[in-house]
Amino acid sequence: MIFFPITTLFNTISLTGIFLALALIATGGLAAVLIFSMASLNVVRAGYRFSCCLYKVERRLRWLTFLFVILALVEFLYAGYVPLLSMALGRSISHFAFGIPSLHGMVLSLGATLATGWFFVYLAGERQKFKLAAVVMILIVFALFVSRKMIMVTIFQALLMLLMFDRTVKTKLVVIGCGVIGVLLFGVIGDIRTGRNVIIGLSRLKVEYPEFLPTGLLWFYIYVTTPLANLVNAMQLSLPATYSFSFLGGLLPTDSIREFFFPGANYSGELAFDNYYQISDSFNVGTGFVKFYESFGAVGVFLSSSVFYGVTVFFLNFTRSVAGFLSFIVCFQCLSFLIFANNFLNLNTIFQIFFLYFIVGGVRFGGTGAS
């Protein structure tokens, strides 16, 4: 396999299958882009005036940030431990089981929303350090939760926003640097959660991994390649479509509600390592498209790709509101992370849009008010 030359994990994956999977995803996205191609893009620039003062937005952010901290403390007290610290001390705990059911997902979504909101008012208004401090504080809480996903979601959304405001070479270099730091941080948390030797062993490398290299690079490589390989493996197995809508279960808040609507569907992070399409027992991610393939075959992959691209382009092209712009940021993040999972149909990530409309609803680009 020329696509996966350094590991034996992908020996059963065909090159034809890879091209077919990528073609379905790409053509679905292209169809959506062509539909919306006649719309004019909103170009965001620093220094825009707004239809109402940003201090009102900042006031909401302050109150909600205070609420976020309180809820995080409540979750730590409820669980009786801090996941990152417990894992660092070698205790056998599960970060999947941490937190108060239903509330934990809302806390994650609220935190990502607040970080995005604080970074927006930093870029659009007075560039005060306390706004960046709020973003860093939220990232620290996510690290204590051992929620690598939400860390990457938050950082990605902030960097995308920065690029939308400032497309200079300096900014692009900053974004690249932050991306590298993010990959390394992903590896550090992964080593605490799993262990350096464990991930190296599970990767089945054909070569010895250099001691001087951080495992963040290996984590990134594995997390990017194994989902696509799992999707291709599902396609190669050619099982009949289920015509089920269980992929919507991620939008339901509790396991009991999911079980009521979709009995037998598995949404538990701890138990989801026995999927038939996995090329390895240790890597259970099959991109954000595998559930659509299971339900409706290749047509499901094509249509879901079209819908997700279409929703993202819609938010960029058909609104001049700040809430619409930030919703585009969230959707573009979801679109980019489809290689890992379907954040469009996950309350932790997509519920940010609801929070954003509450925080910045009514604020528009090009207004006459002071910023």
Is the predicted pLDDT of residue 368 greater than 50, yes or no? Answer: no
Stretch 146-154: mean pLDDT: 89
Within-domain flag for 54: no
Q: Classify residue 11: in a domain, yes or no.
A: no
Spatial distance between the Cα atoms of 249 and 11, rounded to a whole number of angstroms: 33
pLDDT band for position 31 (50/70/90)?
low
- Tell me the sheet residues that pair with 50: 365, 369
What is the C-alpha to C-alpha distance for residues 186 and 313, in angstroms, rounded to an integer? 29
Residue 1 belongs to a domain: no
Express each pLDDT in 236-267 by its tens digit: 888 888 888 888 888 887 777 777 777 766 55
46 part of a folded domain? no
Q: Indicate whether 367 belongs to any domain.
A: no
237 CB contacts (<8 Å, ≥6 apart)?
A: 276, 277
Give a yes or no: residue 201 inside a domain: yes
**Based on the structure, what is the number of domains in the chain?**
1
Domain range for residue 239? 24-40+72-360
92 pLDDT band, cuts 50/70/90, is confident
Backbone angles phi, psi at 7, to 5 degrees: -145, 155
pLDDT of residue 2: 45
Per-residue model confidence as pLDDT tens digits over 180-228: 887 787 777 777 767 778 878 877 777 788 777 777 778 788 888 888 8
Note whether residue 45 is domain-resident.
no
- Stated length of the chain: 371
Q: Is the sign of the CA dihedral 198, 202, 208, 211 positive or negative?
A: negative
The letter for the amino acid at 14 is: S
Residue 220 belongs to some domain of the structure: yes
Mind listing the pLDDT tens digit for each residue in 341-356? 899 999 999 999 999 9
DSSP state of 246: G
